[in-house]
Structure 1
Amino acid sequence: MPVRRRRSTALAAAVATAAALGATVLVTAGATTATAAEVPLKDYELTWGIKQTYRNYVGMFGTFTTSGGATQAAGNGAFTFVDGTGTYDTTGHTVDLAFKGGLVSKSAAHGFEVTLTDVRFDSKAGEITADIKKVDTSAGAPKTTEGDDVPLATVAVTRAMKDMATTLTAEAGEYLGSASYAGAAGDPLTVVQKTPPSTPPASPSPSTSQTQTQEPSPSASQTAPTEKPETESPAPTSTKTAGASPSASATEAATKGEIADGTLGWGVKQTFRAYVTGPVAKGRVTVSGGATQAAGNGAFTFKDATGTYDTDADKLTASFQGAVNFKGHETNGTYGLDLTLSSLKATLDGGSGKLSADVNSLGTLTKGVVLADLKAKSADLTAEKDVITVDDVAATLTAAGAKAFGDFYPAGTALDTVDLSVALSDDAQLPDGGSSGTTGGTGGSAGGSTGGTGGTGGAASTIGGTGTTTGGSTGGGSLATTGSDIPGPALAGAAGVAVAIGAGAVYASRKRRTP
């Protein structure tokens, strides 16, 4: 039988008392019941990542799936829930909003599936809630736990409602799998209105003035209810309009020819970088041959592009200099993980393409491995000031790429997005790609040892060390404070068996249960 857990009786009583005193009434069943001090709201969006270490944990061997209009940002980023409706209390300057969209966090390897729906934000209570269903299959027979309006985090509410600090609750730890989450800092929360207010009439009227004084802009403080709340005006659209007109340089540039220079920005996969430098692999990441790495175990930049372009046909082929090496699981001077990617090459044709590289794993070199399928946001290739820039290109791991990583990730896994910039002439100015080298940061997570400084040319930059960020797992869908951003049981076997990533050895231990 499913176990359904709700808020405590004391909390329910407090909510009922607040309602009796005139607290904001939530929209239900598509109808708004509002007092004289409440104004209906609609078209709001809520963006929250829950907690980055939780996303790392799930993303390592599991998946996030959104539905009902909800989305997830690229690179295993934050989640956005849509079509927020509710009310604004003009007396207390508070909002109460309910959002559409669902989120499923699932890992078959660890035996859990967590579903979030009916996400809500109440600025008066200062909290985020959701309906949650958790299915735990780690012990064999599925065990289901459900809860309605489960408080996931408290919120430090601000007037702008942007990047508000959050603190996870004990209930969040219970459903997400780690008691250590209780009281831990969550990801920042942003609540914005997607559709800007309609343009006011040319001649001001009393009704217009009244509407302006009732626009929601909640404050954490309720000490000055008669003060007119400050609101933020929608961002001007003039820059987008101006950008639609091609510059003189763009119209005069040749439509096809040889690439003069260029950069490729790619992080491979954030969770993989964290794993390599974390407390299990205890490894390091090294760039060489002119490649650089962003501080804090960040993404890589490969440079000195050569190739061809054809803007009429929307085709691009570019090869880049530089290499990155991932090394870990050292035992008596021998590494179970020693993977180098070099000679990266990106192709685009009508918005679709491939990302390939030479792969050297444990001394075995395979050239031209197609690591990922690429999909740009637009099929068009446009030159501005003799530079073609294509950012946030989606990259999906291929079967050949999965084999290159020793089946560490299955084919179809979303990798970090790719940023491309190529110069069509020697005088063209590329966007800042860190051509002078970047400084290495800490190794993957807090507490890691400081990395070296990457130089130009063939100088190497190393980032390594062990991490201490809360994460890990004890199996059965539960996280333990093992000091890792990556789930412990999924990787625990790696310390005892040399995980031959890139050598084609399947990481079989990730499916075994820890006693």
Structure 2
Amino acid sequence: MAAIRRPRRPITLAAAVATAVTLGATALTLPALAADGAAAAPPKVELKNGTLDWGLKESFRKYVAGMAKGKIEAADGAKQAADNGVFTFTDGTGTYDTGTHATDTAFKGSVRFVSELHRFDIKLADVKVRTEGTGGAIQADVSLNGTTQNDIDLAELDLTGIRPGQGEGGAMTFKDIPATLTADGAKAFNGMYEAGEKLDPATLTVTAGAPVTEKPTETPKPTGTPKPTETPKPTAKPTETPKPTDKPSQTPKPTSGTGTEKPGGEVHDGSLAWGVKESFRRYIESGGGATLSGGAEKNDNGYDFPYAEGDVDSDAKKLTASFGGAVRFEYKAHGIDMKFGDIKVAADGAKGTLTVDVTTPKGTNNDVKFATLDLSKASYAAKDDVVVLDKVPAAFTAAGAKQFESEDAPSGYKEGDAIDPVTVALSVAEGAELPDGSGNGGASGGSTSGTGTTGGGSSDLGSGSVGGGTGGSMASTGASVPTGALLGTAGAIIAAGAGAVFVARRRTS
């Protein structure tokens, strides 16, 4: 008897393979069903002759070829369309799993973006596409100036509402799949773009091949008749019970300055190591500089700020400290002038707060609760008469992120975004030696009292608008709110595209 076909049932990829027809609609987005009356669908189906058409981000391509006076190279099987168009990654091969309805396809080709003028060399290679249900991702190896991060989920794909069209040779084409930057992608791009930023849409083309036959696991052959385990012979003599020692061990007395941990006490000296946010520093350094004053010094990972006053109670796991010095960031071309000073740390158990005065030409916001501190792994005990809270993770508060807000656009940062870690060192004995660089890599010199990495400007802020007159949103290659330097190219890339400036005319507090 002929099978009865149920109405309105979509033909899926597995069903299409089972019935030897071309790929039907929604093959990658709906559960696999065997064709009515046909045998069960195979576990996996081969995908071949695949292509991925994707431009990464159009405004970034225009910036590289234009303002950066760079070049774009598609190689190893990848091609670029004329007039600085999108890239095509070729020879895609992979599988479709009819059990999980997932696809995994790898493509040949690499794309390299190079600019000697703006000092960057970026390469994307080993591109893969994964889909499952209505979601998916574009994965790639991302290299910056020779340093590679492998298998980064660069973009998230949304196949909701995407339906396949027919291509040559029975190929199925999924056109203009929306793509957005992932959190890992944002990190790989050094914080230039926020997670969720729109990228160029992607077009995926695949052709179904033969079912993938997996070899059954062979049953291991038994090796001879096992010999019975011999009964172990008793040892000649039972182990003697150890005799108690004549005298109990004495509890060692704590000694000062020998590495023995002790409770904290009165604070005699200290320092704070903090770099604000690395991607922000890199951006500023691309076209401006940082000026240090009030005894602040540069170290390998940011800045050291001198001790002002403090108090520590190791037993109660509490600490408060304030620090002098300031760092001022200026980028005149982008209208940026921000100064951070009067830094305070309050720690209580596993939590803490970093408080900062933020000054711009509009004025000063005093005692801004700038960041939260995660002290869950910190030790408050003094060692060699010094309490060190080493590389404490820090994240923006809502108030801290708002300091980067523009009159014309929201802040590129948000509450919870990670910033540079904080290291606090406080000595609880006269003459105790603080660690170099406050445990943050050692001081590397740098200028003090009004001098810094660029030498421009004094510690007093001049007049004028923080954002200048170029629009007030953070400049980018078309992104509305990027937060740093794309793959280390800093403000060079930020200056490109239709964006305006990095930080602009922060609203009056």
For Structure 1 versus Structure 2, the TM-score category normalised by the shorter chain is 0.3 to 0.5
**Which has the greater radius of gyration?**
2
More helix by share: 1
